[in-house]
Amino acid sequence: MRFLAALSLILSVAALSACSPQNETAAVDGEPMVSPILTSDDAKDPFSYAQPEVARVTHVALDLALDFAQENVSGTATLDILAADGADTVILDTMGLIISSITDETGSDLPFELGEANDGMGAPLTVSMGRKRQIVIAYTSGPKARALQWLVPEQTAGGKHPYLLSQGQPTLNRTWIPTQDSPGIRQTWEAKITAPEPLTVVMSGLSGGDPVEADKGRRAFTFAMDKPVAPYLIAIAAGDIVFQPLGPRSGVWTEPVMLDKAAAELADTEKMIDAAEELYGEYRWGRYDMIVLPPSFPYGGMENPVMTFLTPTFIAGDRSLTGLVAHELAHSWSGNLVTNANWSDSWLNEGTTSYFENRIIEKLYGEKRASQERALNFAAMEETIAEKGSDSDITALHLTGDNAAPEGGTSGVIYDKGANFLHTVEAIVGREKFDEWLESWFDRHAFEPATSAMFLADLRKNLIKGDAALEAKLMLDEWVYEPGLPSNALRPDPAAFAEVDKAAEAYAASRTLDKAVWANWTSAERLRLLSKLPKQLPDEELAKLDRDLGLTASANNEILFVWLNLALQNRYEPAVQLAESFLATVGRRKFVAPLFKTLVEQDDWGKPIAKRIYAKTRSSYHSVTTGTVDAVVLDGK
């Protein structure tokens, strides 16, 4: 199966129509694009077995069947290999895969060895390919493949059909795709996926057209990504899902009963794409579609090219949480276009994206909202640095040692300190110059991996240009390689939350809040107030807060989460039922893990509640979420 090869003369993505997403294909101009491999020590990935400087995967072609009864995928992965002269083996990453055979393109068997598994990394698959440069792996995903979550109908909004979703970042795609699973080894890919009728399959590549009948009762869907991407960005979802266009190059997929709400919340998407392009240049992926998944999805969003995966918890009814969409869209430049070569430089993906997100928000919704969101993020960064210690290595942007593991960083640093670094540079050099440089960074390194050292070298060469005084003001190495917060950090405007902070001070003194003022506040202002409330509150004050502000009834999941966390910290019994309901219907790790942690920290009161709830809800969570919560609730059981 060679979908990309068969499409060598297909239409340019610029001509695609938003109203017929199943008829879209990726542009292929001449030879397939091959990204470089970085060979410097700081670019090497210790969490992959691959040796890409010897032999590396350039293209993956999947031909897979989805089996909802057995909860696995099976079929073949055909890999194109680019190897050094004389290289006769290639090493791949796998985790739990059941390998049936490996052949060359003619069907002749190739010797292979599946090595010993290492916890968290899986096992190396070494293929003796000789002079061959294409290998075909027949395999089945193992039981409980960690990237894949199989949902029964009762776990979906519609309740009629099963559902499959994947989450591959950072190193989980090796549980269903045998390839070199490292962000620095970018690959083009294509796929043919068969699924039982009437389920629809979507992937993070452009569709090859309407599905065709495969075996009896099954349909085949085809996809292609002709631009090399980090392998964690190959994603799949299948279920009872439908599409609604949002603009000429954007649309939303979700379950039918969710479609109207999702489309209404995402109505500004096309404007966001326009704003992003005005800031930092052309959107290079053709379409920007999204899928709103069942609530078990473990993240707020995942920036899979062409098909951003979104949690339904961002739907508040007033578009107050659509900063999430701006963030995932911004990843189309920072993260997808230019990718951290390994996980020690995760801030290059997330910090740059958080900065970009804020610029999109400012362009669409104004400086006030952008300023408030910057202030919230700055507070989160300060809290993280205070918690970890300003001399702790985990508060540096470039991570080392155990902190450089795929999930070893912390969001207050990777996202918030990273974003503040770029806001600081912008403030010192001026917005116009900084924007010109950042757009040129994306252009110079498009479809390539990058490291912190490369980022700083580019800044020095193309922005600082030998200006010693400017170099001293920026404190670049201190930002990236040293822990804590540099002295030149751009601090939020005190006026951003002046009214809110005044109300919080008044509450501390009088224990009263103006309900009318709260009603007119933005989501950011409400979150700021809740963060400023006293940490210890008696039941009667918590009850009054809930009555006056309507916290329990809030449709905004960010506010509901902060309220529940505060209430549980104070052992507020009336909040337990709401917490149980929330944890039973939301799988987003950002919410789930802290709430369980808060309960466990309440010792004799909270631990039994946490264990009781988790016993009921654990099976509904993705492995990304259980991997964190198990350590909180089950350790020491």
pLDDT tens per residue across span 83-130: 999 999 999 999 999 999 999 999 999 999 999 999 889 999 999 999
Segment holding 569, helix H or strand E: helix 557-569
**Does residue 504 belong to any structural domain of this protein?**
no
CA-closest candidate to residue 417, choices 314, 519, 522, 489:
489
Maximal C-alpha separation, the chain: 81
Contact (CB, 8 A) for 294 and 312: yes
Between strands 187-196 and 163-166, the pairing is unpaired
Q: What is the domain range of residue 111?
A: 3-152+161-239
Query: Under the phi-then-psi rule, with left for phi > 0, alpha for psi from -120 to 50, and beta for the rest, what region is 311?
Result: beta
What is the residue whose two structure tokens read 């799949």? 236
Count of CB atoms situated within 10 Å of the CB of 22: 13
Classify residue 464 by its DSSP letter.
I
The verdict on 265 and 399 lying in the same domain is: no
Average of per-residue pLDDT across 442-462 = 98
- Please list the active-site residues: 328, 415
Q: Is the per-residue pLDDT at 14 higher than 60?
A: no
- Whether residue 419 is predicted with pLDDT greater than 80 in this model: the reply is yes
Domain identity same for 233 and 129? yes
Note whether residue 451 is domain-resident.
yes
Q: For the domain that residue 430 is a member of, what is the CATH number?
A: 1.10.390.10
User: What pLDDT is attached to residue 572?
Assistant: 98
Residue 144 inside a domain? The answer is yes
Is it true that the peptide bond before 170 is cis, omega within 30 degrees of 0?
yes
Q: pLDDT above 90 covers what percent of the chain? A: 93
Number of domains in the chain: 4
Boundary-marking domain end, from 239, 273, 295: 239
CA–CA dist 291, 504 (Å, integer): 38
| Residue 489 placed within a domain | no
In angstroms, the CA 180 to CA 185 distance is 7
Based on the fold, state whether residues 353 and 256 are members of the same structural domain: no
pLDDT at 480 over 70: yes
Are 197 and 251 in a shared domain?
A: no
When pLDDT is cut at 50, 70 and 90, the band that residue 6 belongs to is very low
CB atoms within 10 A of CB 606: 19
Q: In the chain, what percentage of residues exceed pLDDT 70? A: 95
Q: Are strands 338-340 and 123-128 parallel, antiparallel or unpaired?
A: unpaired
Q: What is the CATH number of the domain that holds 287?
A: 3.30.2010.30
The CATH number for 235's domain is: 2.60.40.1730
Residues 180 and 217 both lie in one domain: yes
Q: Tell me what the pLDDT averaged over the chain comes to.
A: 94
Looking up tokens 């290492």 gives: 118
Residue 446 clears pLDDT 60, i.e. is over it:
yes
Quote the CA–CA distance of 206 and 368 in Å, as a whole number.
Answer: 37
500 inside domain:
no
For the sheet containing 242-247, what is the strand order?
Answer: 242-247, 250-254, 288-292, 307-310, 301-302
Q: Are strands 112-114 and 123-128 parallel, antiparallel or unpaired?
A: antiparallel
My answer on whether 106 and 42 are in the same domain is: yes
**Contacts with 55 (C-beta within 8 Å, 6 or more apart), sequence order:** 81, 82, 83, 84, 87, 89, 90, 91, 129
In one-letter notation, the amino acid at residue 629 is V
pLDDT at 187: 98
236-255 pLDDT tens trace? 999 999 999 999 999 999 99
488 is a domain residue: no
Tell me which of 239, 268, 295 is where a domain ends.
Answer: 239
Token digits of residue 69:
């009864």
Output the pLDDT for position 20.
33
**Spatial CB neighbours of 60, under 8 Å, sequence gap ≥ 6:** 77, 78, 79, 80, 177, 179, 187, 188, 189, 190, 231, 234
The Cα–Cα gap between 92 and 327 comes to: 31
90 and 187 part of one domain: yes
Per-residue pLDDT at 636 = 52
Answer yes or no: do 118 and 235 share one domain. yes
Dist. CA 552–CA 633, nearest whole Å: 25
Q: Which of 224, 239, 254 is the last residue of a domain?
A: 239
In a domain, 91, yes or no: yes
Positive or negative: CA dihedral 339, 341, 342, 343? negative
User: pLDDT tier at 11 (50, 70, 90 boundaries)?
Assistant: very low
- Could you give the dihedral angle defined by the CA atoms of residues 595, 313, 321 and 172, in that order, rounded to the nearest 10 degrees? 80
User: Backbone phi, then psi, for 128, in 5-degree steps?
Assistant: -85, 100
State whether 269 and 202 are in the same domain: no
Q: Categorize the per-residue pLDDT at 32 as very low, low, confident or very high, splitting at 50, 70 and 90.
A: confident
The pLDDT of residue 215 is 87
DSSP 3-state assignment of 67? strand
Distance between first and last Cα of the chain: 49
230 & 287 share domain: no
Other Cβ atoms within 10 Å of 76 Cβ, number: 20
Residues 79/104, Cβ–Cβ less than 8 Å = no
- DSSP 8-class letter at 497: G
Q: Which amino acid would we find at residue 35? A: S
Is the confidence at residue 27, as pLDDT, over 90?
no
Residues 411 and 339 in one domain: yes
Classify residue 145: in a domain, yes or no. Answer: yes
| Residue 154 confidence (pLDDT) | 96
Q: Are residues 290 and 359 in the same domain?
A: no
